[in-house]
Amino acid sequence: MGADPHQLFEEWFALAAASEPNDPNAVALATADAGGRPSVRMVLLKGHDERGFVFYTNRDSRKGGDLDANPQAALLFHWKSLRRQVRVEGPVSCVAPQEADAYFATRSRDSRLGAWASDQSRPLDCRETFEARYEEMRRRFAGTDVPRPPRWSGFRVAPERIEFWTARAHRLHERRLFTRIGDIWSEGLLYP
């Protein structure tokens, strides 16, 4: 007991990176709209530190709309090969534009073009329409850098609760819960 939850997450994340065959940074993101209607989907964690856990998306997507209306979220990392999971809950805010620009610049050119071509979460009449828009973006940005679209950004979940779950024999699992009040973390156990 008494561990720093961010340091513990870093240790578990490093183990997952070494053992998970695909996307150890995949995380289920749960949001709710203004009416409380929940929605969950997989995203990729692109950064984490003491300030929180960061993922990127189009702010006009369904998750972006949910977070604008109700800036609270929950994350769930599940690393089956390790028989561990981590749950994170807390308020959400946008990352600084410079941080979003820096991450966007690391993406492949095709991914950056795709961000411009996609009206994420909006109805699409057929795949050919999306492919035509992608080709239009290739022509538009030919020979130039592809900047970050204005509505594409990152979100940071600032954890107020972090739970570390470890599978044990006979379903006698271990659940360690860290709860933050201000800058202070307290730790306790939960029944499985």
Which residues are catalytic, by number? 171
CA end-to-end distance (rounded Å), the chain: 17
Closest by Cα among 177, 148, 154, 150 to 53: 154
Cα–Cα distance list, 110 to 36, 57, 114, 141, 181 (Å) = 36, 16, 6, 11, 42
CA distances from 35 to 32, 42, 43, 64, 116 (A): 8, 22, 23, 15, 30
